[in-house]
Each structure stands twice: as structure tokens, then as C-alpha cells.
């Protein structure tokens, strides 16, 4: 009798449960299931399943269903899981009154945990950690008012710290430090509203300072200095709004000044001075819009102009002039591809012509005249392929004829005076 009663009780329980439970389903036009809901009579908490058209689960969790102001309402509660169309898990966590709470975990397409952290009243709070595919933390830090806040740390694939600093409302603020994959400090400086500000220092892998300078609103400004990996100053100059502006100087490894000149909007302008390519002193070039003009001037170590002319690359071109220590012209000549060509003339210190001739492809050619310091003719004759050739006539200071000498390709022909 007791066994019969027990069987009847179990059957009644099953019937009652079946009557108290209800499952609703919705379908895509193609006939595949789109969603289903299971709820129980007198229970407001319902379990939901949502599906992709390919039949894979899209999300699952619980909703709290109720009426408010005559309308049906639904709030997510408890555990929810979300999936990609291929079935891989996207994220999982808890809801309370439709807002995320507690720990949530997020996964990448490979199924690896990508980041996790705490929600409070639907907003991220506290420390959140983000992971590489290998499971190592790539960054972690806090959140406040839906934005990254407080100190954040960033790591390389192998877990080495590569940078750290403060975030305010998701933007870098205060001091930040950056490191290479060996943990060596590479730069340090400050941010304001996500932009560099104030003094920044940069370092080589051996810890030696590589450069130092100032920022304003994220742009380099004021004076900057640059060093080699031994700590020697290599160049220095000024920036304005992130562009080179004003005087810049370059040095060799011994600290000797090599070049100096000005920039404007990141382009070399005006007169630039070069000290390293000549042992006799230095030379200057004119720059326009970042490009050198053909004009070039050479000075001795005391700053006295020695010669002036034009260069095409490293080749002498056009008209050239030479000067003595008092600034007087001592010679004028023309060049083509580094070879003297055309009329040339030299002068005494008093400005009187000393010599006058013609050159072709770097060699004297044709008629040449030489003068005494009083301006009277001293000699006249011709050159052939750089050698004296034919009759040359000579005169005294009063320009009285003295003698003639005959040459054959630079060799004097005897007994022809």
C-alpha cells in the first residue's frame, strides 16, 4: 500500500511540475529557432536562450519580468553568457536590475581570456587586467566614471614592464616612464590632458642620455640637446610648435663645432656655417626653403673672407673671386664643373691688373697679358693646352720693348731672342 502511494505521489508531482512550467519559442523565417523562454507559474524569473540563424547559441541568462505602470518590463538578472556565431564564448558575468555587477570575463576569438574586472552598478570600477594570447598580463589599471583612471602598467609579450603612469579620464597625466624589453628606462616625462608637457629625457639602451628637451601641448618647444651613446653632445637647437626654429649647432665626437645655422618651420634658412671640411678656416652657404643655393663663401680662421663663388653640389661653377687680408680682390675667374674656363684676371694689392688671360677646361689657352705694378705691360704671349707656345714679348716698367722669347709647347727655342 505504501509503495502504491509513493508511486501516485511521484506521478502527481510530475504532472504538477509540468503544469507549472511553460516554454515559449520564436523562429527565424527559415524555420530555425531564434529564441526560447522557460518560465514557471507564479515565478517572475525566466530563463532565456537566444540563437544565431545557424543554430548556434547567441546568449543565455535570466530575466526578471514584471509590470510597471501597466507595461511589461524585463530586467537581466543573475548569470549571463554571450557567444560568437561560431559558438566561441565572448563574455560572461552577472546582472542585477539590467546592470552589470561583480566580475566579468571577456574572451578573444581564439577562446583565450582577453580581459577581466569588476562592474558596479553597470560601470567598470577597480582594477581591470588585459591579457596577451599567451595569458600574460599586457596592461592593468583602474576605472572611474567609465574611463581609465589612476596608475596603469603596460607589459611586453614576455611580461616585462614597458611603461607606466597616471590616467585621468582616460588620458595620460603626470609622470610617465617608458622601458625597453630588457627593462631599461628609455624615456621619462610628464603629460597633461594626454599631451606631453615640460622636460622630457630619453636614454639609450646603455642608460646614457640620448636627448633632452621641453614640450608644450604635445609639441617640442624651446631648446633641445642630443647626445651619442657615449654622452657626447652631437647637436642642439630650438623648436617651436614641434618644428625646428632658430639657431642649431652640430658637433663632432670631440665636441668641436661642425656646422651652425637657422631653421624656420623645420627648413634650413639663411646663412649656414661649415667648419669641418676645410683646414684653412670655414665656409658659409645660403639656404632657402631648406635647400642650399649655389653661393658659397670661404673664410680664414680669423673670419676674413678669402674667396666667394658658386657650387653645384661639390663642383665649382660660374664666377669666383679671391680676396687678400684687407678685402681687396686678388683674382676673378669662371668655372664649369670644377674646371677653370673663360676669361680670368688677377690683381695687385693696389687694384691694378696683374695678369689677364683665358682658360679652357682648366688649362691656359690663347692670349695672356702680364703687367707691372704701375699698370704697364710686362709680357704678352699665347698658351696652347696649358703650355706657353709661340712668341712671347717682354717690356720694362716704362713699357719699352725688351725682348722676345719663342716657345714650343712650353720649351724655349734657343737663339731666337
Direct distance between the N- and C-terminal alpha carbons of the chain, in angstroms, rounded to an integer: 165
Q: Which of 116, 114, 58, 53 is nearest to 88 (CA)?
A: 58
Calpha distance 47→61 (Å, rounded): 6
Q: What is the pTM of this model?
A: 0.76
Domains of the chain: 18-125 (3.90.930.1), 136-231 (2.20.110.10)
Question: Which pLDDT score is estimated for 4?
Answer: 36
Q: What is the CB neighbour count within 10 angstroms for residue 63?
A: 21
Calpha distance 167→153 (Å, rounded): 10
Residue with cell 501597466: 70
Question: Which pLDDT score is estimated for 43?
Answer: 66
Q: Do residues 137 and 152 lie in contact, with contact meaning Cβ atoms separated by under 8 Å?
A: no
- CB half-sphere exposure, 128, CA atoms < 13 A: 23
Asked if pLDDT for residue 12 goes beyond 90, the answer is: no
For range 55-81, the mean pLDDT = 91
Asked if pLDDT for residue 82 goes beyond 60, the answer is: yes
- Read off the pLDDT of residues 293-329 as tens digits, 9 standing for 90 and up: 999 999 998 899 999 999 998 899 999 999 999 999 9
Tell me the pLDDT of the chain averaged across its residues: 91
- Read off the pLDDT of residues 371-397 as tens digits, 9 standing for 90 and up: 999 999 999 999 999 999 999 999 999
Q: Distances in Å between the alpha carbon of 123 and those of 99, 119, 143?
A: 8, 5, 9
Calpha distance 320→316 (Å, rounded): 8
By three-state DSSP, how is residue 9 classified?
Answer: helix
- Read off the pLDDT of residues 112-167 as tens digits, 9 standing for 90 and up: 999 999 999 999 999 999 999 889 999 999 999 889 999 999 999 989 999 999 99
Go through the chain and tell me how many residues it has: 417
Q: Do residues 277 and 291 lie in contact, with contact meaning Cβ atoms separated by under 8 Å?
A: no
DSSP 301: T
Asked if pLDDT for residue 173 goes beyond 90, the answer is: yes
Higher pLDDT, 187 or 277: 187
The C-alpha angle 70, 71, 77, rounded to 5 degrees, equals 125
- The alpha carbon torsion through 35, 38, 43, 46 (nearest 10 deg) reads -40
Amino acid at each position: 500500500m505504501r509503495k502504491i502511494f509513493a508511486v501516485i505521489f511521484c506521478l502527481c508531482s510530475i504532472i504538477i511540475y509540468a503544469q507549472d512550467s511553460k516554454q515559449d519559442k520564436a523562429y527565424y523565417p527559415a524555420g530555425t529557432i531564434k529564441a526560447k523562454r522557460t518560465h514557471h507559474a507564479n515565478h517572475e524569473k525566466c530563463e532565456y536562450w537566444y540563437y544565431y540563424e545557424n543554430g548556434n547559441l547567441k546568449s543565455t541568462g535570466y530575466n526578471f519580468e514584471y509590470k510597471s505602470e501597466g507595461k511589461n518590463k524585463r530586467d537581466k538578472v543573475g548569470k549571463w553568457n554571450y557567444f560568437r556565431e561560431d559558438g566561441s564564448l565572448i563574455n560572461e558575468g552577472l546582472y542585477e536590475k539590467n546592470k552589470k555587477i561583480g566580475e566579468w570575463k571577456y574572451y578573444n576569438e581564439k577562446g583565450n581570456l582577453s580581459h577581466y574586472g569588476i562592474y558596479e552598478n553597470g560601470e567598470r570600477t577597480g582594477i581591470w587586467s588585459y591579457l596577451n594570447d599567451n595569458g600574460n598580463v599586457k596592461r592593468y589599471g583602474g576605472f572611474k566614471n567609465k574611463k581609465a583612471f589612476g596608475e596603469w602598467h603596460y607589459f611586453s609579450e614576455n611580461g616585462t614592464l614597458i611603461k607606466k603612469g597616471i590616467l585621468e579620464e582616460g588620458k595620460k597625466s603626470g609622470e610617465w616612464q617608458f622601458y625597453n624589453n630588457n627593462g631599461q628606462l628609455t624615456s621619462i616625462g610628464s603629460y597633461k590632458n594626454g599631451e606631453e608637457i615640460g622636460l622630457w629625457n630619453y636614454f639609450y639602451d646603455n642608460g646614457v642620455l640620448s636627448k633632452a628637451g621641453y614640450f608644450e601641448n604635445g609639441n617640442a618647444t624651446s631648446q633641445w640637446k642630443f647626445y651619442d651613446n657615449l654622452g657626447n653632445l652631437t647637436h642642439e637647437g630650438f623648436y617651436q610648435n614641434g618644428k625646428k626654429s632658430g639657431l642649431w649647432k652640430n658637433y663632432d665626437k670631440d665636441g668641436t663645432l661642425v656646422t651652425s645655422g637657422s631653421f624656420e618651420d623645420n627648413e634650413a634658412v639663411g646663412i649656414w656655417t661649415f667648419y669641418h671640411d676645410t683646414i684653412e678656416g670655414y665656409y658659409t652657404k645660403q639656404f632657402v626653403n631648406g635647400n642650399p643655393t649655389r653661393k658659397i663663401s670661404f673664410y680664414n680662421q680669423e673670419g676674413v673672407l678669402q674667396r666667394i663663388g658658386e657650387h653645384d653640389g661639390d663642383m665649382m661653377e660660374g664666377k669666383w673671386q679671391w680676396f687678400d687680408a684687407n678685402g681687396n680682390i686678388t683674382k676673378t675667374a669662371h668655372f664649369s664643373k670644377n674646371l677653370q674656363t673663360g676669361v680670368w684676371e688677377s690683381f695687385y694689392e693696389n687694384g691694378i691688373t696683374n695678369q689677364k688671360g683665358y682658360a679652357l677646361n682648366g688649362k691656359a689657352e690663347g692670349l695672356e697679358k702680364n703687367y707691372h705694378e704701375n699698370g704697364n705691360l710686362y709680357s704678352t704671349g699665347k698658351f696652347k693646352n696649358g703650355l706657353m707656345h709661340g712668341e712671347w714679348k717682354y717690356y720694362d716698367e716704362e713699357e719699352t720693348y725688351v725682348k722676345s722669347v719663342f716657345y714650343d709647347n712650353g720649351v724655349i727655342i734657343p737663339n731666337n731672342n
